[in-house]
Amino acid sequence: MELSEVKVVDVHKPQITNKHRFIGFALIALTVFILSNSVDEWRAFQGATVAVYVVAIASIILLTGYSGQISLGHGALLAVGAYSAAIAQINFQLPILLCFVVAVITTSLFGALLGAAAARLSGPYLAGTTLALAVGLPSIANQFSFLGGEQGISFDVGWPPLSFGEDFTQYKWFFWIATLAALISMWWVQNILRSRYGRTWRAVKTNEVAAELAGINIGRSKVLAFTVSSGIAGLAGALLAMTTNNVSPSVFPLALSFSLATGAVLSGVNTLGGVIIGSVALVAIPEIASLVADRWSGSESVATLLPDLIVSALLILTVFLAPKGPIEKLRSRHVK
């Protein structure tokens, strides 16, 4: 029985048609447009960062939530995307759009390799391996000078087009690009997740033996998930390189991978719908925390540690109280 012949009807969700989705996306685009015109540089930067996180967390949701493969090393994948984009620009002088494409393709290829190796691993072994990757991969850059060593290299998408006017700032430009990239990739990811590939991933995750009996090639499915997830992560990496304008090992520490995994859990790792929650949380919490710390104690140390503390605490709370993510939790409350 071919899985694609089975129409999977999700009992809980009302049927969301493409039209609905398009309207939703358009609304988001409109909101961002309005916001971008009314906020300052810093906020624009934060907005761009949120968009970056959306893409990155979506890639984790795809891999872990749908395909059931843990990754604690997505930071390394972002690094691959960032470095490829930067090198494409610096060494090959490719136009910016092509640099992004190069980032996606390179990281996808890397992901395919990684996936081939990872397909045989599960659970803690996969977790530990991706962890080792997160620590191991970015540090390579220190060894090879064409990767810029510790200083890193830069990825410069250039100034906004003159036709946008003189007031159009750099960060607003980043915000626009990042949001556009996020919208396009989210649309595409949603399509994939709703397609038979997404259903196959779910099937394998739920019960490998049954999926295999139904004729699904487990290895291929897993590798495909890794490939797609990596491609998207590569895009996020290139976007990150754009917003920070610097690509070096220190931009991709272990903490980044942890943050992304945390963001995925906060969003609800099982479905794409909550991806905004985690992304906003990752950006907003440090901001809120420093405000709180300022008002409260004014102590430097409290200000630096509060964001991590809050994020970690939220993570633990989410795992305990809403393991399937806040959206599922609200939904199940509603159903009850």
Partner 1 sequence: MFQFINTLLIGITAGSIYALMAIAIVLVWRSTRVINFAQGGLALASSFVGASILEKTGSFWIALPIAMLAGALFSAFIEFFFLRPLLKRSGDKGEEIFLPIIATLGLLGIIKAVLNFIYGDRVGVIAPPLSDKGFIVSGESIALSPMRLLILGTVFLLMVVLTLIFQRTNLGLSLRASSFAPEISRLAGVRVDVIRTVGWAISGAAGATAGILQTTNGSGSITPESFEFSLLLVFGFVAAVIGGIESLVGAVLGGLTLGIILAIILMYVGGSLVFFAAFLILILVLLLRPHGIIGSKGGRRA
Q: What residue ranges bind partner 1 (CB under 8 A)?
A: 64-65, 68, 70, 72, 117, 120-125, 127-129, 131-133, 135-137, 139-143, 205-206, 208, 254, 258, 261-262, 265, 269-270, 301-302, 304-306, 308-309, 311-313, 315-316, 319-320, 323
Q: What is the DSSP letter of 5?
A: G
> Residue ranges of the alpha helices (H) in 61-161?
74-90, 96-118, 123-136
From the CB of 98, what's the least distance to partner 1, in Å?
28
Positive or negative torsion for Cα 183, 189, 190, 192: positive
Structure tokens of 68? 């059931």
Q: Which is nearer to partner 1, 101 or 315 (CB)?
A: 315
Residue 70: partners with Cβ closer than 8 Å, 6 or more residues away: 64, 123, 126, 127, 130
Q: What is the DSSP letter of 153?
A: B
Q: Which is nearer to partner 1, 77 or 183 (CB)?
A: 77
Q: Which is nearer to partner 1, 179 or 270 (CB)?
A: 270
From the CB of 127, what's the least distance to partner 1, in Å?
5
CB 191 within 8 A of CB 287: no
Distance CA 157, CA 171 (A): 11
From the CB of 70, what's the least distance to partner 1, in Å?
5
From the CB of 20, what's the least distance to partner 1, in Å?
27
Q: Which is nearer to partner 1, 37 or 250 (CB)?
A: 250
Distance CA 53, CA 127 (A): 21
AA identity, residue 301: S
Q: Which is nearer to partner 1, 68 or 160 (CB)?
A: 68
> If 0-12 CB within 10 Å is exposed, 13-18 middle and 19+ buried, where does residue 35 land?
middle
From the CB of 124, what's the least distance to partner 1, in Å?
4
From the CB of 305, what's the least distance to partner 1, in Å?
4
Q: Which is nearer to partner 1, 129 or 243 (CB)?
A: 129
Q: Which is nearer to partner 1, 142 or 246 (CB)?
A: 142
CA angle 165, 170, 176 (to 5 degrees): 85
From the CB of 200, what's the least distance to partner 1, in Å?
15
CB 73 within 8 A of CB 84: no
Query: What are phi and psi for residue 66, nearest 5 degrees?
Result: -95, -50
CA angle 174, 178, 181 (to 5 degrees): 145
CB 160 within 8 A of CB 36: no
Q: Which is nearer to partner 1, 172 or 222 (CB)?
A: 222
From the CB of 23, what's the least distance to partner 1, in Å?
31
